[in-house]
Amino acid sequence: MIREAAAWLKSRRAEWPRTAIVLGSAQASFIAALTDRQEIGYRDIPGWPVPTVQGHGGKLVTGRAAGREIIVLSGRVHLYEGRTPQEVVFGVRVLALLGLKTLILTNAAGGINPNYRPGLLVLITDHINLQGANPLIGPNDDSLGPRFPDMSRAYDAALQQTAKAAAAETGVELGEGVYAALPGPSFETPAEIRYLRTIGADLAGMSTVPETIAARHMGVRVLGLSTVTNMAAGMQAELSHGEVLATGKAAAGDLRKLIEAVLERIDD
């Protein structure tokens, strides 16, 4: 299926950009700012899973940001939608087949680290997979990558330095932390958040980790950026998807500035 989708996309365009960004909740303004924009609806690409969540679009966009040609995946599917881990990483694998080198994964997350605040952007330095799922479970396709991929440096060290330099240059505040991935869709309980803090998590979210694993499996380097859309359960009065979307939208300008400064500094 991924090969069919990649062949379909290749028949529409021979050369694909080597950098892609997956946009999380409420990041439509990033797309609007792209020049030379071209859009393909996920529903038109053979086998590509279409998201069902409000605030998550559903299209593959190409265009220029900071003078660089990029691919943007606007909208993703999640395990909590009842999708399989393979469906969750479908898009990342297709782009890797098209020659992707660098993947920037963004997401909305709950802040566990007490030094965070809603609206803060955080550089993901590592992750803890608590989703009870892994996209590599099952027979390994040796033509994609190894059976047992190393995850010692899942988030590329050079890209992390680039993101920090971009933050310093633009004046956008950037925290750092470990992202714990939960299956969702219910938010965590306060007890679960205390547990997550104890095991070393700074952020809680419901995405990104399967995509990072699939990308690393295929040798694509990954930069992970979270928007803290709320403090995690027990640290504020209550949680809602409405707040996640509203804070995500409010921080979208900072995220765009940071990503553009990152794009100016990477070469592939």
Binding region for ligand HPA (CB under 6 A): 108-110, 187-188, 204-206, 229-230, 232, 239, 244
* CA distance linking residue 74 with residue 58, whole number of Å: 6
231 catalytic, yes or no? no
Of 147, 152, 108, 95, the closest CA to residue 126 belongs to: 152
Catalytic residue among 20, 65, 108, 167: 108
- Nearest to ligand HPA by Cβ — which residue? 110
Catalytic residue among 81, 176, 243, 264: 81
Residue 4's φ and ψ, nearest 5 degrees, are -65, -45
**Smallest distance from ligand HPA to CB 107, Å:** 7
**Smallest distance from ligand HPA to CB 98, Å:** 29
Catalytic residue among 6, 207, 215, 231: 207
Contacts of 240 by beta carbon, 8 Å cutoff, 6+ apart: none
Cβ distance to ligand HPA smaller for residue 18 or 78: 78
Under the phi-then-psi rule, with left for phi > 0, alpha for psi from -120 to 50, and beta for the rest, what region is 175? Answer: beta
**Smallest distance from ligand HPA to CB 207, Å:** 8
Catalytic residue among 235, 241, 243, 260: 241
Contacts of 107 by beta carbon, 8 Å cutoff, 6+ apart: 24, 25, 179, 205, 207, 208, 224, 225, 226, 227
Q: Which stretch of DSSP H or E encloses residue 105?
A: strand 102-111
Q: Encode 12-35 in three state secondary structure.
A: HCCCCCCEEEEECCCCHHHHHCCE
Dihedral sign of CA atoms 260, 264, 266, 268 in order: positive
115 catalytic, yes or no? no
Catalytic residue among 230, 231, 232, 233: 230
Cβ distance to ligand HPA smaller for residue 103 or 244: 244
Cβ distance to ligand HPA smaller for residue 5 or 232: 232
Catalytic residue among 206, 233, 251, 252: 206
β-pairing, 174-181 vs 203-205, is parallel
- In order of 14, 31, 69, 71, 106, the CA distances from 35 in angstroms are 20, 9, 9, 12, 21
235 catalytic, yes or no? no
74 catalytic, yes or no? no
78 catalytic, yes or no? yes
206 catalytic, yes or no? yes
217 catalytic, yes or no? no
What tokens does 13 get? 């365009």
Do residues 112 and 61 make contact, with C-beta atoms less than 8 angstroms apart?
no
**Smallest distance from ligand HPA to CB 248, Å:** 8
Cβ distance to ligand HPA smaller for residue 219 or 242: 242
241 catalytic, yes or no? yes
**Smallest distance from ligand HPA to CB 150, Å:** 27
**Smallest distance from ligand HPA to CB 93, Å:** 24
Q: Indicate which residues carry an active-site annotation.
A: 25, 56, 78, 80-81, 108, 206-207, 230, 241
